[in-house]
Chain A
């Protein structure tokens, strides 16, 4: 989980998906998530996966980062699938659902800066919770930098080498201890600054508006179509299951076209 790279992708990237209003992306995310949850048909879930990959590819997201992050839950889904699923197909579906849901979340976080993802949440929870949620973002980067320095120092002092797991663990522990102390001092200083700058409770973040409402509508429409398909196959499965093989064709075609177009422009 490379927080720095995730953030860089979201804040420095510039694609059609980056330019979509954060609120629209969150709505689309909710629709896709609902689609993932509803569906137990492996082909439908697989179609959702491919559709998301097509979207990610068209936004030129870092493929390796995307797949690493989305693949992480697969490991745990696998443990769950092995113990809970009744068949190979069922297990595959569980893993695929986990990966697809994560893929949707990661696509949002790789194209939307953290504050814009969490600002809508901050507005509806108690002030102390919401403001702390936003403060977490700045703190993350301050701590990451400090932790990097502490870890380097601890390793240099411990003479870290791969051959000494105990020493390495100790170095990490020491760095974490130092980081903990630093964190509390940091929170005290942040409080001082907030007080001086007139903090009265309730931070505010201005959300960017969409530059092209048409694209936003298209994204939400696409996500709604995915949910509709998912719902149709769930409730009309007896009639529709024979035609399940049709579903993946659409996103596969979209992915192929995207990749071809990308290949031509690069």
Chain B
């Protein structure tokens, strides 16, 4: 069992710039609900792929809204690229790409091409540069054919891709995604994970995403934070470390990936069972080795 160890975490990324730092933020909504994002500090380093896990009502979206400067913290500290996003969002907004939960509402312009061109145009780029970027981004997501369509005639998955194109067109250094897998069919979901991996590897994009899709965490993320109801950040670590915390997950109403559960059950039944492997390949490998060894 690996408890969160801030020293180890800091050590692993010591040479990397801290992109996001949230510490002990409290937000009170008008109706009296309070979300207190405290406990551990929420740290994201350049190039990291961070998943935020937690049950409904744990404040995942509130956390992301603070990163985006949409909510202003009344106490505590929020830093993105070294500035408070609620104060100085215009300074950093070109470096941050965002896709929130309801993609339908995020498509602002009346046509797909105009929507993807939204940010570059608002930043005053010349029209030929805008066109170049739009074409390139649509190509990256494989949706060139949608350029002239109107958003409400698109399928849910297509809308999500268009929203993502709108976020990627400025070639952001930090990508913030709220429930990016919601409403995607398995093929689109696999495609999205592959794309995010490519962005992360080729361009070194830092990704922060909240998700309910537990299976995507070991597949995609290299670090995860777990939020408990009320906003407390209770645990952080690599996916393997997080999913080993069965009790914590159960308390947070998070269902671990099926493989993690399988290995946990196996571990209870057979003391010499192998440690949890979170991908099919690794699981097969571990089980084969165990069978041969036993």
Contact = CB atoms under 8 A, between A and B. Distances in A.
Are both chains from one complex?
Answer: yes
Interface residues of B, number: 33
Contact of A142 (B94, B104, B111): B104
Interface stretch (B20-28, B30-38, B149-157): B149-157
B162 to A, nearest CB: 12
A193 B100 contact: yes
A142 B105 contact: yes
A204 B111 contact: no
Interface in A181-221: 186, 189-190, 192-200, 203-206, 208
Interface stretch (B50-58, B117-125, B214-222, B265-273): B117-125
B256 to A, nearest CB: 32
A186 B111 contact: no
Nearest to A119: B110
Contact of B98 (A141, A190, A196): A196
A114 B153 CA distance: 14
A114 B114 contact: no
Given A11-B149, A195-B89, A114 B122 contact: no
B89 A138 contact: no
A11 B118 contact: no
A196 B109 CA distance: 14
B108 interface: yes
A138 B110 contact: yes
B137 to A, nearest CB: 14
Interface in B232-260: none
Interface string A133-147: 011011001100100
A75 interface: no
B287 to A, nearest CB: 46
Interface in B49-81: 68, 70
Contacts of A186: 105
A12 B148 CA distance: 10
A94 B244 CA distance: 79
B122 A134 contact: no
Nearest to B71: A192
A197 B152 contact: no
B105 A198 contact: no
Contacts of A193: 100, 105-106, 108
Interface in B165-208: 166
B113 interface: yes
A185 B95 CA distance: 27
B45 interface: no
25 contacts: A12-B153, A113-B110, A134-B109, A134-B110, A135-B108, A138-B108, A141-B152, A142-B105, A190-B105, A190-B108, A192-B70, A192-B100, A193-B100, A193-B106, A195-B89, A196-B89, A198-B94, A198-B118, A198-B123, A199-B108, A200-B122, A204-B117, A205-B110, A205-B111, A208-B148
Given A113-B150, A114-B110, A190-B108, 14 more contacts: A11-B153, A12-B153, A113-B111, A115-B109, A138-B151, A189-B102, A189-B105, A197-B108, A197-B119, A197-B122, A198-B94, A198-B118, A203-B108, A205-B111
